[in-house]
Amino acid sequence: MDCKAYVFDVIGTLTDWRTGLREAFEEVLVRHGDAGKVDADAFAVEWHEEYMKGVRQVAATAQPGEPYMNLDVLLRHILTTIVLPRVGYTERLSETEIDALVYGWHNFKAHPEVPAQLRRWRAKDGPYLAPLSNSNIKMLVDTCRHADLQFDLLTSSESFASYKPSPSVYLGAAKFMAVEPHVTCLVAAHYYDIKAAKKCGFKTVYLWRQGRSRGIGG
């Protein structure tokens, strides 16, 4: 595949959101004496699914000039208004604990093979390698440091005031890297991401990951 740039979805494709969210909530349950009383894995899946619904709704309905909601703000809103009430923890967590759960999205671990594979792909004079993530810039920087993800540059949906699968994110990333869409390839573990990138003229590689969210991808 003759491409000048490869862009990677991050949450789920390169990093393990499910383990990260489950372990973070398990720590909360232990502190509150509720270990084993609430399904922490179900909590993780539900938060991730509601996040996916949220960003896709924003991408589909946002109008030009509307204020952009930072992903940390969106995740906190989803956690406090949807996810925690469903597991009976609305009134039980402090603001500090809620902030810590949200910040956990900054510190997901990479899937085991990812850091070494990215380093191998970053050959001298080779194609650009960059994330193309719904994570905001701060979240991307933190994730790359924590998970040892090495790229040539960072591209985030935040830079284009929207979220994937909005075409503005894919086309904006290609323009930012000064490459045409048809010589840009998206690597992702989510069908909606692959489909949207193809519509924008990108080449695509689907990467299967076990344990994605029910029905809508990881």
> What pTM, to 2 d.p., does this model score?
0.91
Which residues, including other chains, have CB under 8 Å from residue 94's CB and lie 6 or more apart? Answer: none
**Mean pLDDT of the region 32-56:** 93
pLDDT in tens, 116-148: 999 998 877 789 999 999 999 999 999 999 999
**Mean pLDDT of the region 24-33:** 93
**Mean pLDDT of the region 61-77:** 85
- Going from N- to C-terminal start, the domains of the chain cover 5-15+109-206, 17-106
Give, in words, the CATH class of 5-15+109-206: alpha beta
Side-chain half-sphere exposure of 190, counting CA atoms within 13 A: 27
